Amino acid sequence: MSNEILIDAARQEETRVAIVKNKRLEDYDYESSSRRPIRGNIYLAKVIRVEPSLQASFLEYGGNRNAFLPFSEISPDYYQIPVADKQKLKDLEKNDSLVNLEEDEITEKHTSIDNIAGDPLEESKVKREKPYKVKYKIQEVIKKHQIVLIQIVKEERGNKGAAATTYISIPGRYCVLMPNSGRGGGISRRINNSQERKKIKKIFEKLTIPSDMGLIIRTAGG
């Protein structure tokens, strides 16, 4: 297996990086000296438009363009519904996606939104399926001018604004904390040594993690 990291720094104003595995492009990113990257940044944003046809909203957060927030990335915490219904949704959310530590792995799901917490989450993405959300449509629970806390998961590119989520992820060196998501957690598949996994699993089971939070153990991140 041939792995390469190709770096193009020929232009002073921009550096481009490509990751190639077996002569196939796996990932590509760039950084401009005139524009600082914002992926991973957390902002207090305001809903300026709710788009029923897209089941998404557009947010003003201080960027060059409005951010895009799909309904699937909106926590029930922000739903403008009766408190009892909101609590029921949150309870269902937790029960639907509690980590099965017997399986000892994070459920993977392909998604168009980049993950912000580093390599372990890029190859072991937290499942975020919400069948219990079918009851609602975005225009019924999210309103114009509503204030939400978001995290940028994909940079602005071309004419497209940044993509955002309300599920915050805070990456550390060996773990990722998800302070408002009790539905995700486990051990990254990149930790493939069976003995090491068993050891980490025992430590993980001893941790006291609030029910409304999630935690992922990963390989060392930058």
Distance between CA atoms of 177 and 118, rounded to whole angstroms? 12
* Mean pLDDT of the residues in the chain: 80
Determine phi and psi for 188, rounding to 5 degrees: -60, 145
Degrees (nearest 5) of the Cα angle 74, 41, 136?
A: 5
pLDDT digits (tens, 9 = 90+) for 97-137: 444 444 444 433 333 333 444 444 433 344 454 545 558 89
Beta strands in the chain (DSSP E): 3-11, 14-21, 24-32, 42-51, 56-60, 67-70, 147-154, 163-165, 170-171, 175-178, 185-187, 214-217
- Asked whether the whole model's pTM tops 0.85, one would answer no
213: which 2 tokens?
């939070």
Question: Quick one: which H or E segment has residue 3?
Answer: strand 3-11
**How many whole angstroms separate alpha carbon 171 and alpha carbon 39?**
12
Residue owning tokens 């071309």:
158
CA-to-CA dists, residue 62 to 44, 67, 187, angstroms? 9, 9, 35
Token readout for 107 is 């459920």
Whether the per-residue pLDDT at 171 is higher than 50: the answer is: yes
Question: Domain 36-217: which topology?
Answer: OB fold (Dihydrolipoamide Acetyltransferase, E2P) (2.40.50)
- Report the share of the chain in percent with pLDDT over 70: 78
Question: CA 135 to CA 96: how far, in whole Å?
Answer: 16
Domain boundaries, the chain: 1-35, 36-217
Q: And the tokens for 58?
A: 């557009």
Residue in 99, 98, 124, 100 with CA at minimum distance from that of residue 110: 124
Residue range 149-165, pLDDT digits in tens: 999 999 988 788 999 99
